[in-house]
Amino acid sequence: MLVTVQYVSKQFKKHTAVHPISFSIGKGRCIALLGPNGAGKTTTLQMLAGLLKPTSGTIEFVGNKQIDNRSQIGFLPQHPTFFNWMTAQEFLQFAGELSHVPKKQLAIRLKETLAFVRLEDVRNKKIGGFSGGMKQRLGLAQALLHEPELLILDEPVSALDPTGRRDVLQLLDQLKSNMTILFSTHILHDAEQVCEDILMLKDGRLKWSGTLEGLKKEYNSLAIKLQTKEPINGALDQLDFMEEIEYVDSFTVKVRLKSLANSNQLVQTLIENKRTLAHFELLQDSLEDAFMKVMER
């Protein structure tokens, strides 16, 4: 375990942004923090990064008794700010000095980090001329420069075009083997691509904490898509082992069963009703389906 969060909350005057939440972050894991706008994601990340002091509760790095853990953290805010008159190399030199990276080590890390985020060829170009994707990769570079144990990213791809999103997600996928990553997003497909663990917030309350596979398993429904050569309407309406039925068109239906064992009986019913089965498909719920179920509970 790398970080333990116990009953952490944050209140701004009379508004409670985050109610007491508790969870842990495993070493070497990639965790997605999910939730709608206003759920408390940014506030939670800023408390973890040491930028906001919790109203109550504790945040502990395992094995580190220091109160200030910021040297172990790399942080990329949702809207990173740069000095546009600086070059990429000058900005990272400045960031490295602020992070107290030793001079000799900083020279090596500058070269390695610029190469990793694919900005080596534009290291002497002024940041004012960078695209949004290039700026986001530069922001990621400053968060990585001091080789943190925990990398925290607030909506790292939300403002990017598809190419920029793909680039940043590929970099995160490469980083997973070297450090622990926690990032917030409202783009569920991105979380599904790179993360192993999921945290879900709604109205400042933690609604789910666990693995991605565990989430899908717990909230997966037994759904089947059927297609027949003859119109299917009415052939399945009287079955008591179905939880839900959705007619896609006259020949296609999606059904949710109480048990997968009922699937044979479902097919038998079609045959008895003189319907010829043309297509049978087990449907796996997506992360979006599981997310909506958690948010509704």
Backbone angles phi, psi at 157, to 5 degrees: -125, 5
pLDDT exceeds cutoff 90 at 261: no
Domain topology for 3-216: Rossmann fold (3.40.50)
Residue 222 has a pLDDT of 66
Which of 6-15, 63-72, 88-97, 122-131 has the weakest average pLDDT? Answer: 63-72
SS3 string, 95-156, reads HHHHCCCCHHHHHHHHHHHHHHCCCHHHCCCEHHHCCHHHHHHHHHHHHHCCCCCEEEEECC
Domain 220-296: which CATH number of 3.30.70.100, 2.60.120.10, 1.10.3720.10, 3.30.70.260: 3.30.70.100
| DSSP type of residue 284 | P
Percent of the chain with pLDDT over 70: 94
Which pLDDT value is given to residue 85?
94
Residue type, position 239, single letter: L
208-222 pLDDT per residue, tens: 888 888 887 776 666
Average pLDDT, stretch 32-37?
Answer: 88
252: number of CA atoms within 13 Å, CB side?
5
- Chain segment 91-141, per-residue pLDDT in tens: 999 988 888 888 888 989 999 999 988 899 998 999 999 988 889 889 989
Q: Where in the chain is the domain with CATH 3.30.70.100?
A: 220-296
Give the predicted TM-score (pTM) of the model.
Answer: 0.77
Measured distance CA(21)–CA(44) in Å, rounded: 9
